[in-house]
Amino acid sequence: MRGHADRRPRGITAALLVLGQIAFAMAAPVASAAPTAARMPAFDHVYLIIMENREYTSIVGSGNAPYINSLISSFGLATNYDAVSHPSEPNYLTLFGGSTFGVTDDGIHNLAKSNLADQIQSAGLSWHVYEQDYPGHCATTAAAQGGPDLIGPGGWYARKHDPPISFTDISHRPKRCAQITSLASFSPTAANFELIVPNLTNDMHDGTTAQGDAFLKAFVPLITKSHTFAHSLLLITWDEGSTSQGGGGHVATVVVSPLLRNAGTQSSVPHDHYSLLRTIEAGLGLPCLRLACGANDLAEFFGS
């Protein structure tokens, strides 16, 4: 036998149902909405300056780096950022190729692999690499000494700090490797992506922290005072630190852009060199490359 039919008027039944739902909702814990994930802005230009061999604590708050710390106060700092390896070269390859490619030394390597320059050109964009005291003419020499090159004292160019020259689709093609020049020809409007590597004196490798800070004080305004910087991004990082945290040490990474969420923004989100490559790719609208595909970017510095 079927159960008794509910003889309450339909209007009353509906009202009771609504009241029950309201009561349940009031009794249930309220879950806060997940914050909307920040996204990288689209940049006209992205600049990357790579300095050398300083642990985070040797830069942040250091009296020997007043200019760098002024940038940190005015713009942004990733406080939980690690290099990925020792020695230098694997870190540079990571930033330009999304992998160390098994390289564990500072030797001469010729890699038949795709790289950031390939991505940029495939998207119809442009790239340029400025290696201070680079001898030019697609040189593949391991090192070269030069005189003053635009800013600061002369010093040594090192191939291990010149990642595109390790990729054969650049080093073996004169038109492409001509995009690697000394610093004297620097222009903030030369390309959508520009990599700047000071010589071994000015990048703190052979020189002091104060010398590196002086180089940046003289060079960075060439970018930030350009009319093109209104929709651009400058990243300053160190290839490796003095510890093995994260594989290559805890290093400072400074984020400079007029599009930052707030002046003096600091982020404790974990990042590394793969994150920096992913940031460059996202900012230029490029797909990810190798291990950068599994990395986060620095989008938290932007947006509301």
Domain of residue 168, CATH code: 3.40.720.10
Q: Does 10 have pLDDT greater than 70?
A: no
Does residue 304 have a pLDDT over 90? no
Q: Give Rg (Cα) of the chain.
A: 25
In a domain, 25, yes or no: no
Q: Specify the 3-state DSSP secondary structure of 256.
A: strand
173 domain residue, yes or no:
yes
In the predicted model, what is the mean pLDDT of residues 218-232? 97
- Check if the beta carbon of residue 83 is closer than 8 Å to that of residue 241: yes
The total number of structural domains that make up the chain: 1
Q: For residue 231, is it within any domain? A: yes
Q: Is residue 166 a part of any domain in this protein?
A: yes
Q: What is the pLDDT of residues 170-191, one digit of tens each?
A: 999 999 999 999 999 999 999 9
Are 88 and 106 within 8 A, CB to CB?
A: yes
216 in a domain, yes or no? yes
Answer whether 75's CB lies under 8 Å from 257's CB.
yes
Residue 17, in any domain of the structure: no
Q: Is residue 122 part of a domain?
A: yes
Residue 92 lies in a domain: yes
Domain that holds residue 127: 45-301
Q: How confident is the model at residue 38 (pLDDT cuts 50, 70, 90)?
A: confident
pLDDT over 90 (residue 122): yes
